[in-house]
Amino acid sequence: MDPERLIYPLTKHVVLGPALRVTCRPKVTGLHHLPRTGPVILAANHLAFCDSFVLPLVVPRQVFFLGKHEYFTRPGKAGRALAALFRGLGAIAVDRSGGRAALAALDASAAVLERGEVFAIHPEGTRSPDGRLYRGHTGVARLALRTGAPVVPVGLIGTDRIQPRGQRLPRPGRIEVRIGEPLRFAGRGRESHRDVTRGVTDEVMAAIRALSGQEYVPSYAPRPESSARPE
């Protein structure tokens, strides 16, 4: 057996999962909204680096997500171990340079859904700099329209308190994960139609806002110009 296949169950059930329950005491509501089988897009707000790990650890199905390609290309044994960890946890390397790289990331995400798996995405594209909810990018809409997968909105609360920007490891605290009812957009229109993808994305963001209770900002969140710390 490929050793990387063991990383997900070991991390979820033996290492990070128990640690999360002890240190972060997650309160999860609405888990019954998550379909037990078939493709699902989990669309969540983004407050902290740990968000991408929280969802796989509290959701019973395996969750796949995008990870910056820098996490997969660091040199040395430590870099290879980090890459293996991310791959084992379900991360898909993504190049943020845009253009064809963005299309490749979309194709990889769609492939997960076409296999009937769960794919998690943060429509804001980067972490909120101030705890507010920012305008969503249309990738979530394009995925939903392309694959027909339902979008399950998720509101994460408190992850920015347990892991503020610049802090490498979460500290003890309390977080909440609120999972909403699935949104279905099949037949809404083509993924190439800007008005359609913007409308679907705004609907998803409104559902996330209703769950998270955040103030909404109708502009894209600024990306850090440069940072040596995880984003």
106-145 confidence digits (pLDDT tens): 888 999 999 999 999 999 989 999 999 999 999 999 999 9
Q: Is residue 133 situated within a structural domain?
A: yes
Whether 3 maps to a domain, the answer reads no
pLDDT at 158: 95
Domain of residue 155: give its range: 24-217
Q: Which residues in the chain show pLDDT less than 50? A: 226-231
pLDDT of 231 reads 39
What does the pLDDT read at residue 24? 79
Q: How many domains does the chain have?
A: 1
CA dihedral 142, 95, 56, 89 (to 10 degrees): 140
Q: Residue 158 falls within a domain, yes or no?
A: yes
Any domain includes 49: yes
Looking at the domain assignment, is residue 11 inside a domain? no
**pTM summary value:** 0.85
The verdict on residue 105 lying in a domain is yes
Here the CATH number for the domain that contains residue 98 is 3.40.1130.10
For residue 211, is it within any domain? Answer: yes
18 in a structural domain: no
Residue 229: its pLDDT value, please?
37
